[in-house]
Amino acid sequence: MIHHRRSSLGAGGVGLRRRRVGTAIALLGATSLIGACAGTTSSDVTAVGVQDPVSTNSAPSTTSSGGTDAASIDLDPLKPCLDTLSVEEKAGQVLWVMTATPANVADSAKAGKIGGVGALEDQGGDIAGQITAVTADTKVPMTVASDEEGGTVQRLDKVIEPLPSARDTTGTLSTAQTKAMWTKYSTSMAGLGFTANFAPVLDVGFGVALKSRSYALDPQVVVDFALAAADGMTEGGIKPIAKHFPGIGYATADPHGELVRVSSLNELKQREFLPFKAAIDAGIPAIMTTHAVIPDVTNGEPVTMSPEGIALLRDDLGFKGLIVTDSLIMGAIADQRTQSQAAVQALVAGNDVALIAGAQNVDEVHTALVAAVADGTISEKRLNESVKRVLDFKGVKGPCSKGGAQPTTSGDAQTSTSAASGTTVLERDPVGGGQPADQG
């Protein structure tokens, strides 16, 4: 649960420390650059709720009374599942797909070619049935996400009572009311079968890429309201995936259409990074990277494709959770790369999940990921690191099937599947201006 220091805790809750952004400025300004990125984080903050799955197999080098070396006992709760997955299945776990008709990817899910699905476009009353179809009989529990921010970006406003935009939220609600609103909304999402949400928005500013999707111009206001939203999502049974790192609230272009350039690293540390640092310190489980160039860090590449950009998130800000790319069909990426090429480069750069769009593209991208492992472009060690983070995000402990509880859904899965059968058409996203499906 993402808690505020001043919030009361639920049963079993653990308080998380939150710094004011003034403190965060001092901390970010004090970090030293290693190459193009910084490398240390403050040692006095413990992020609760985000475990580092890569290091969970460490154990004390002591000997038990029976003479067994405790260090030889593997205590990694993710290993029982990881060890049963083929390379093809591992590649599937790091590949998630956005689609207007989730039932269209049910076969891909059962075959282990994808590990998650996100809903695009407006969804109707059959969405619970579609989720049942896509989550049934999978070896590893599926992540089922949507793009629910409120205002102009919400896919379920015909199924659940609509939410106000982020900007309207700060003008009309308190943080307590914001949390309560998101708890109620997320409970409804979980009841339909969703497990995650591509929100909250942590960007500072109302530039052309976001407008009313941002909470505020003041980083502290963004922190207060975004973390209240994340608290509510978590309490309602939905895992938040905060976005869009490194922050595009002041960008003068929209990555849906073209590559975005943001401020220098020093300027980002003074403003855009502050909500991300606060969310990380509060235990946010996942962060979405976006297609933005940091001029003095990423060598002309977007953060999503840049090892130096991802290192900022891992090393400078100390994030140990799941990193998901923004949609790889956006114009900022599609102008230069296919989704297959982008997915491989995203994993090489250090993202854990490549988020593609369109059910018709799954086989090609999955094949490209498997081939990249086979030829050494992506090492299996590197792949395993990301798969473990995916499993940890899903709550898998022990055997693959022992993931976080899948909500019971209602609806006629057979009807949904039949409606989705036949030729798959190229999906469109009205938010993206009628371009092939993407999300924000």
Check if the beta carbon of residue 397 is closer than 8 Å to that of residue 123: no
pLDDT at 12 over 50: no
- 353, 348, 287: which is closest to 321 by C-alpha? 287
pLDDT the model gives residue 271: 97
pLDDT the model gives residue 252: 87
Q: Which tens digits make up the pLDDT trace of 149-188?
A: 999 999 999 999 999 999 999 999 999 999 999 999 999 9
Instruction: Indicate if 326 belongs to the active site.
Output: yes
pLDDT band at 26 (very low <50, low <70, confident <90, very high): low
Check if the beta carbon of residue 31 is closer than 8 Å to that of residue 305: no
22: number of Cβ within 10 Å:
11
pLDDT at 135 over 80: yes
Q: What is the mean pLDDT of the chain?
A: 82
The answer to whether the Cα torsion of 45, 51, 53, 58 is positive or negative is positive
DSSP letters, 66-129, are TS-BGGGS---TTHHHHTT--HHHHHHHTEEEEES-GGGGHHHHHTTS-SEEEE-S---TTHHH
Instruction: Indicate if 256 belongs to the active site.
Output: yes
Q: Kindly state the average pLDDT of the residues 103-129.
A: 96
First to last CA, the chain: 24
CA 320 to chain CA centroid, nearest Å: 12
- Cα 341 from Cα 257, distance rounded (Å): 18
Residue from 256, 281, 315, 366 carrying the catalytic annotation: 256
- Interior angle at CA 81, CA 65 and CA 127, nearest 5: 140
pLDDT at 413 over 50: no
Q: Which tens digits make up the pLDDT trace of 358-383?
A: 999 999 999 999 999 999 999 999 99
pLDDT band at 2 (very low <50, low <70, confident <90, very high): low
DSSP code for 431:
G
pLDDT band at 402 (very low <50, low <70, confident <90, very high): low
Q: Kindly state the average pLDDT of the residues 402-414.
A: 40
Q: Kindly state the average pLDDT of the residues 313-327.
A: 97
Tokens of 206: 């109302």
Q: What is the pTM of this model?
A: 0.80
Between 249 and 431, residue with greater pLDDT: 249
Residue from 326, 352, 392, 438 carrying the catalytic annotation: 326
- Cα 48 from Cα 436, distance rounded (Å): 38
- Cα 271 from Cα 203, distance rounded (Å): 9
Which conformational region is residue 32 in: left (phi greater than 0), alpha (psi within -120 to 50 degrees), or beta? beta
pLDDT at 67 over 70: no
pLDDT band at 401 (very low <50, low <70, confident <90, very high): confident
The answer to whether the Cα torsion of 281, 282, 283, 287 is positive or negative is negative
Tokens of 330: 């956006």
In the chain, what are the domains?
A: 75-420 (3.20.20.300)
3 state DSSP class of 69: strand
Specify the DSSP element, H or E, that contains 341: helix 339-349
CA 317 to chain CA centroid, nearest Å: 16
Q: State the SS3 of 171-234.
A: HHCCHHHHHHHHHHHHHHHHHHCCCEECCCECCCCCCCCCHHHCCCCCHHHHHHHHHHHHHHHH
